[in-house]
């Protein structure tokens, strides 16, 4: 099974090609420029490297959120457009689950944290065998409130974990921040998390696959206050 996987949920951008649960190629772009400027070029480069035509793909996986509103819209619209053009299924994957996936080998809880800006973070706990979905609802809150909710001995991963390291150290010395390599979402993880659903023919309907923002956008908040 040939799967293209894409992540644009945060400031980084990642594209990977997987074949039968094996990672064949992956590129992670961390320069922080608008994803619309380079996403299609990365996709084309990955497919060229792997000598795969778009029509030879069996499906495309993409992060559905939470994350930056602009990044999620770019990723989902690009993937949905490509999938429609080649008539292939799409699977949306939690960006928090993709962030936690490389730490699935741990015996303790992993809390994935993404900087939500405005002094808040998106966060969710992952524990147990199936880490495709969080153990409980994903939340958005300030770091102090998040610290109170952390399970004992948890490992923290993501931009939010790094940004508020001083909060965890002062309020929750029992938890630890993951190694430096664990704080960027990898498209390879997105593809691996989507693989079971592709194999079970449980893809998302592209017309109803929308970003999961968790909180309202600034424009929605402003409109509601008018």
5-30 per-position pLDDT tens digit: 999 999 999 999 999 999 999 999 98
Q: What is the pLDDT of residues 62-100, one digit of tens each?
A: 999 999 999 999 999 999 999 999 999 999 999 999 999
Name the CATH superfamily housing domain 2-94+185-225.
ATPase, nucleotide binding domain (3.30.420.40)
Full-prediction pTM beyond 0.85?
Answer: yes
Element (H, E) at 198: helix 187-199
Convert the pLDDT of each residue in 138-167 to its tens digit.
Answer: 999 999 999 999 999 999 999 999 999 999
Cβ burial of 161 (10 Å; 0-12, 13-18, 19+) is: buried
CATH of 97-182, one of 1.20.200.10, 3.40.50.720, 3.30.565.10, 3.30.420.40: 3.30.420.40
């Amino acid at each position: 099974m040939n799967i293209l996987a894409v992540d644009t949920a945060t400031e980084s951008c990642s594209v990977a090609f997987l074949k039968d649960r094996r990672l064949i190629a992956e590129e992670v772009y961390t320069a922080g420029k608008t994803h619309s400027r380079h996403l299609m070029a990365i996709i084309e480069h990955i497919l060229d490297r792997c000598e795969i035509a778009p029509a030879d793909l069996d499906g495309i996986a993409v992060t559905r959120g939470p994350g930056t509103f602009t990044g999620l819209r770019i990723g989902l619209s690009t993937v949905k457009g490509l999938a429609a053009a080649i008539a292939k299924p799409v699977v949306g994957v939690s960006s928090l689950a993709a962030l936690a996936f490389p730490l699935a080998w741990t015996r303790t809880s992993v809390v994935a944290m993404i900087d939500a800006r405005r002094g808040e973070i998106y966060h969710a706990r992952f524990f147990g065998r199936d880490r495709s979905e969080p153990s409980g609802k994903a939340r958005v809150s300030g770091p102090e409130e998040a610290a109170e909710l952390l399970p004992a001995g948890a490992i923290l991963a993501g931009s939010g974990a790094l940004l508020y390291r001083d909060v965890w150290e002062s309020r929750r010395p029992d938890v630890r921040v993951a190694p430096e390599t664990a704080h960027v979402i990898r498209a390879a993880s997105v593809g691996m998390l989507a693989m079971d659903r592709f194999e079970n023919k449980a893809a998302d309907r592209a017309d109803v696959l929308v970003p999961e923002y968790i909180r309202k956008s600034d424009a929605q908040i402003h409109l509601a206050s008018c």
